Chain A
Amino acid sequence: MKFGKRIKEQIQESLPEWRDKFLRYKELKNLISSPAPAESIFVGLLNAEIEKFNAFFVEQEEDFIIHHKELQYRIQRLVEKCGDNDDVMFREEIGEIRKDIVNFHGEMVLLVNYSNINYTGLAKILKKYDKRTGGALRSPFIQKVLRQPFFKTDLVSRLVREWETTMDAMFPALTREVEGYERSAAVSSAAAGEGIFRNTVAALMTMREMRRGSSTYGAYSLPPLNLSDSDLVLRPRHIPSPIPIPY
């Protein structure tokens, strides 16, 4: 039940176009609890879900690849245009680009999260199915899932890391003067990324929940999560509502 609630929350916080692309966990669970869950129907539904994931994932990935390139070009053009001028316009444009980079990074991470949460949901639902029917569907089926395109997130992860590296170069070093703004940053960051930030926080909280250790902890369960300094961010239990920054 916990996972069901969590995935629902995730879906609610997710970007609008994504909302119907997630695993229909509840429906599948209901199917399983029906008196005679037919395997063919169940598997058929799962396969349809997998197709949905694959199609969506691959398409998003394609968009990311294009955007990735375009962002590089933009940076290149900006640098060529302004060199290392410190004029206001340059600063604003670089600010714009930084925002785009962070949001782009965020969206890609969310896609990786999408992949993971759907995989996790599948694993769980298969476990429930086997438990209910005494079948052995889980293991071979999950092996198939592991080979699916939506599960292969390596490329997106790679792009994510590349942008992290680039970001380090594009952001000013943390100075003491700058550190003083952290508090206000926490408030405005909710607005800075809007949906993406909220979604990210929701995802992290979900992961923390999932890895807390469940009543049905067993051989196939994940070990507890070890979040260290991110707890600082997650401490406000509620997701901060977007507050408009005075532009």
Chain B
Amino acid sequence: MTLTGDFGFPPTAMSSFFPLIPTTLDERYHHHKFPNSLWVSSSGQEPMNNPVPCQVFPLASGGTSSGYCNGTYVSAQERSSSQTRQSVETQSLPVTNQPQEQRDMSWPEDQLQGFFDFPPQGESSSRAKSEWPDWANQMISVDDGLEPNWSELLGDPNVLNQDSKIPTPSCDIARQEIVVSTQHQVDSSSAKSPQASSMTSKQRMRWTPELHEAFVDAINQLGGSERATPKAVLKLINSPGLTIYHVKSHLQKYRTARYKPEISIDTEKPPLKTLKTIEDIKSLDLKTSIEITEALRLQMEVQKKLHEQLEVQRTLQLQIEEQGRYLQMMIEKQQQKMQEKKIGSSSGTSSMPEADTSSAPSPNLSQASVTERLQSGGSSTLDQSGYPSGATKKRVRED
């Protein structure tokens, strides 16, 4: 099985990198009310990856009450407004355990040893490609600063209030303001917002692979990165919220990135020149290249490990904060009730103070016990669900 033959690089390989399995997406969206899962990775199966919110910061101009996703370069916008705009990120919390294994399993067994082998996504990728516009439509916009309903999230991972309310771009930048409302607040912390006194109101653009792909398509249509002009590119991409300045700077980066590797590829000389001249003996050559490969492999393993640990740590940090907030809320509620009771009753009964004091220490205890749970939960997350250490071991063995 040759590599070039079966995998037909440009369309399928590309979509195997950015892949999207819209059917599963639809399914999940409609049935389980999951927020739109963007940029699912190359598995052909239920991906359940960290869904990535589309990062565009809301524009103060125009009628859009929240920003449009930069990836929505497909013009059909009527869907996007009705789409949910939740914090997709929060869904990643209960779900992070799973993707690794599933992805591993989705890899076909017929990997050629030692050579490139992109998974023959075959029909799934072609499916993905044809339904791409649909999916692009479904891309939701900014999810910055959405207040996830943490308590619900804890209770039921599938539930994150999925109303398609149009969020109002609230400016909760003032330093200690707590955004108390539930889901659909758009955090305009980096957007242009008049009340962003303590944050610079810069409009920050956040690129996505999809948008970049649109950019590259436009460039190619215009005859290459040298010939294309920012204005023309901007027009071709046709994505609201994208300005010519964004395109300009991106184009510059693009040109720089292309220029460097072009040199090494176009010259027929192998980069490891010295290797060739010193070692003519093929066996020695082989040994060194194996050493290098193993060195790289080792480096990769270390990097992988760090990444896994970072993800775990991040999840834990999020959970800690969320628990803290939840408890805070409970305390406040309880205190409120106490207040009301006190006001309500004319004579303070003896039971009141006891109730007060008993309510005070218990939150602390609860928080401590939460941390304990996290502790044991943390280690069990690592062991039981097989993520990350289990997944790592699996990967290593597959090597």
Chain A interface (Cβ within 8 Å of chain B)?
43-44, 47, 50-51, 54-55, 58, 61-63, 65-70, 72, 74-80, 83-84, 88-89, 91-96, 98-99, 102, 105-106, 109, 112-113, 116, 119-120, 123, 137, 139-144, 146-149, 152-155, 157-162, 164-174, 177-178, 181-182, 184-186, 188-189, 191-193, 196-197, 200-201, 203-204, 207, 211, 218-230, 233, 245-247
Question: Which of these, B204, B300, B368, contacts A54 with CB under 8 Å?
Answer: B204
Nearest 4 pairs between A and B by C-beta? A185-B294, A147-B145, A223-B375, A172-B114
Question: Which residues does chain A contribute within 8 Å of B318, judged by CB atoms?
Answer: 146
- What chain A residues lie within 8 Å of B117 (beta carbons)? 169-170
CA distance A67 to B172 in the complex (A): 35
Bound Cα distance A172, B379 (Å): 32
A154 and B52 contacting across the interface, CB-CB below 8 Å:
yes
24 chain-A/chain-B pairs, Cβ below 8 angstroms? A51-B202, A66-B254, A72-B17, A93-B271, A102-B299, A109-B303, A139-B328, A140-B178, A148-B190, A149-B204, A152-B55, A153-B314, A157-B307, A162-B17, A169-B111, A169-B119, A171-B399, A172-B114, A173-B113, A189-B296, A204-B305, A204-B306, A223-B379, A226-B378
Contacts A70-B258, A219-B364 hold; do A116 and B310 have CB atoms under 8 A apart? yes
Q: When the two chains form their complex, are residues A200 and B257 in contact, meaning their CB atoms are under 8 A apart?
A: no
The residues of B that contact A204 with a CB separation of less than 8 Å are: 302, 305-306, 309
Distance in Å: Cβ of B51 to nearest Cβ of chain A: 7
B13 at the interface (CB under 8 A from A): yes
Task: Please pick, from B89, B205, B270, B389, the residue contacting A226 in the complex, using a CB distance under 8 A.
Answer: B389
Which residues on B are within 8 Å of A, measured CB to CB?
2-4, 9-10, 13-14, 17, 39, 41-42, 49-53, 55, 89, 92, 99-100, 103, 107, 111-119, 144-146, 172-173, 175-179, 187, 189-190, 198-200, 202, 204-209, 212-213, 216, 250, 253-254, 257-258, 261, 264-265, 268, 270-272, 274-276, 278, 285, 287-307, 309-311, 313-314, 316-318, 320-321, 324-325, 328, 364, 367-368, 370-371, 374-375, 378-379, 382, 389, 392-393, 395-396, 398-399
Residue in A83, A167, A174 whose CB lies within 8 Å of B2: A83
Known contacts A62-B207, A141-B176; is-contact A158 B41 (Cβ 8 Å): yes
Interchain CA distance A160-B50 in the complex, whole Å: 12
- Provide the main secondary structure of the chain B interface: helix
Nearest B residue (CB) for A246: B288
| A223-B302 contact in complex given A51-B200, A171-B293, C-beta closer than 8 Å | no
Complex partner residue of A142 from B52, B294, B321, CB under 8 angstroms? B321
Contact B103 A112 (CB under 8 A): no
Q: Which residues of B contact A192 (CB under 8 A)?
A: 292, 295-296, 299
Residues of the A chain whose Cβ atoms lie less than 8 Å from the Cβ of B317: 119-120, 123, 222
**Complex CA distance for A192 and B299, rounded to whole angstroms:** 8
| Closest CB in chain A relative to B91 CB, distance in Å | 10
A93 to B295, CA, bound (A): 17
User: Which residues from A are CB-within-8-Å of B172?
Assistant: 144
Given A63-B257, A182-B294, verify A84-B53 contact (CB < 8 Å).
Answer: no
> A230 vs B291: C-alpha distance in the bound complex, in angstroms?
20
* Chain A residues within an 8 Å CB radius of B301: 230, 233
CA distance A80 to B295 in the complex (A): 27
Given A62-B250, A65-B208, A200 and B111 contact (CB-CB distance below 8 Å): no
Q: B314 near A76 (CB under 8 angstroms)?
A: no
